Structure 1
Amino acid sequence: MMIYRMDHVGVVVKDLAAAVAFFVELGLELEGKATVEGEWVDQLIGLDGVRADLAVVRTPDGHGRVELSTFHTPVPTSTAPRAPMNTPGIPRLTFAVDDVDAVLSRLREHGAELVGEVAQYGDIYRYCYLRGPDGIIIGLVEELN
């Protein structure tokens, strides 16, 4: 048995258009959109009567992809907690960027909120975490030369 690669990360969002706009502003590219429903989707995720819209965005190098989905049916019965960063099981997506401050400024126009502060690790990185659409934790890391 062999793993070839990590294919994608999936995130459920309330507002698909807003989430796509956020990730496009971050610098990802829209790869495609689709609506899924039917027996195969019900089997896959263990729910009945699924109808969902999906969008896939990818990093400019083509190696990283994020699948964003919003469910029309069945209606969600709860939301993910806005737990602190040190909570076990809380996922985060981290992206290497050329300028943390510039990217953060652009993402704030899409509702991004810093979790802590922009921090510098020696002369190696500038790094921050923010909450994006639906509380998704996003890391931005800028390599310093």
Structure 2
Amino acid sequence: MFRYVHTNIIAKDPNKLIAFYKKVLHCQSIDEKRDLKGEWLDKLTNLKDAHIVGEHLLLPGYGSDHPTLEIFSYDTIKDTVIAEINRPGIAHLAFEVDDVEMVLEEIIRAGGGKVGEVVTAEYPDDIEAVFVYAKDPEGNIIELQSWRNKR
């Protein structure tokens, strides 16, 4: 077997971030909460006395067995690195939505923010897409996108 399983976000406040992704981006609890520690975790993470808490959330649009968004927190968190769209590494999580502007407003009301402007881009076959980059309450970048036939 070979399949994509999850993406992990390390949060300063996992409960707040979990609530944000559930409310604003329609992720669902699948009762996979974690409270992990032990020698095996220390070996895996190469951290002494590692302790992880958090939850797996089912991403919208998928069946009940994955992929998930894993939001965890360690007892000890390193300083935050500011997320920037052109920083090497994972740049953003993307969600297809019906109304980019409406979801962006929800993100902002829920404590997130906007990175750039809402734009519309033309694609072949009379298709256009609306895009915006936003940030969740902890600064992780989220892409919102909506695809439609040109009017």
TM-score by length of 2: 0.85
- SS state of the match for residue 44, structure 1? helix
Q: Determine the structure 2 residue equivalent to 1:76.
A: 77
| Partner-residue secondary structure (3-state), 1:124 | strand
Aligned with 1:24: secondary structure? Answer: helix
Inter-partner Cα distance in structure 2 for 1:83 and 1:20? 19
**1:90, CA displacement in angstroms?**
4.5
2:47: which partner in 1?
47
Residues 46, 33 of structure 1: alpha-carbon distance in 2 compared, 3 angstrom cutoff: same
Any idea what SS the aligned residue of 1:42 has? Answer: helix
Aligned length: 140
Query: In 1, Cα distance between the equivalents of 2:144 and 2:104?
Result: 8
Q: 1:71-98: CA deviations, max 9, x gaps?
A: 12xx22322x214312222521111111
Mapping for residues 4-15 of structure 1, pairs under 5 Å: 4-15=2-13
Would you identify which runs of 4 or more consecutive aligned residues in structure 1 move more than 6 Å? Answer: none
Determine helix, strand or coil for the equivalent of 1:133: coil
d(CA) in 2 for partners of 1:141, 1:91: 15
Question: What is the alpha-carbon distance in structure 1 between the residues aligned to residue 74 and residue 88 of structure 2?
Answer: 26
Determine the structure 1 residue equivalent to 2:134: 130
In the alignment, is the contact (CA less than 8 A) between 2:83 and 2:140 conserved in 1?
Answer: no
Contact conserved, 2:112 with 2:138, CA < 8 A, in 1? no
Aligned match of 1:101: 101
Q: Which moved more, 1:6-15 or 1:117-126?
A: 117-126
Q: Over aligned residue pairs, what C-alpha RMSD do you find?
A: 1.6
Residues 95 and 139, structure 1, Cα contact 8 Å, conserved in 2: yes
- Say if 1:8 and 1:90 are closer, same or farther in 2 by CA, change over 3 A: closer
Aligned to 2:28: 29
Provide Cα deviations, 1:87-127, integer angstroms capped at 9, x if missing partner.
Answer: 22252111111111121121212211110011111242101
Deviation at 1:65, TM superposition (A): 1.2
Gapped runs of 5+ residues in structure 2?
none
Distance 1:83 1:103, change over 3 A: closer
Letter of the 1:33 counterpart: K
